[in-house]
Amino acid sequence: MSEVSRILDQMDRAFSGDAWHGPNLMSLLGEVSAGDALKHSVAGAHSIWELVNHVAAWNGILRRELEGEALEVTTEMDWPPVRDPSESAWKQSLENLRQSRSSLRKTVERLRDDQLNEKPAPRTENSRYVMLHGLVQHDLYHAGQIAILKKAL
């Protein structure tokens, strides 16, 4: 199995597959309503919806950087705001998350193992390898936050 295949496996497990640690990101979001996603159930913490938008944003940022695009990540790119609190907008945010991951996954599938040690983006000193493992860590970190926020509802 190639290293890219192993990374894809870990990405899939953290996002929507059989995660070793417990529930994957998408399973945690499965029964969350727009109203619950909007709540700031822990003082000073982001809402579930804000976290979903943030994870989707980083799927897109990482995809673009892996493809060699030079980005300056603004606060709004990093933490896209919730502009419409409706149930349909929540469903769209979840779909944006799925689509951003699908697009990123397609980019990763095109990588060769010999490209993993290359630094693709001027914004960071990290290699593709570090960036992709960081993405898995990022998914799991925010999945843990979402699990806690759901318990606090």
pLDDT for position 123: 87
In a domain, 66, yes or no: yes
Give the tens place of pLDDT for each residue, 91-134: 999 999 999 999 999 999 999 999 999 999 888 899 999 999 99
In a domain, 7, yes or no: no
> What is the number of domains present in the chain?
1
In a domain, 10, yes or no: no
**What six digits make up the tokens of 58?**
């980083």
The pTM (predicted TM-score) of the whole model is: 0.96
Q: Is the pLDDT of residue 20 over 90?
A: no
Q: What is the mean pLDDT of residues 26-30?
A: 97
In a domain, 85, yes or no: yes
Its domain, for residue 100, covers: 33-121
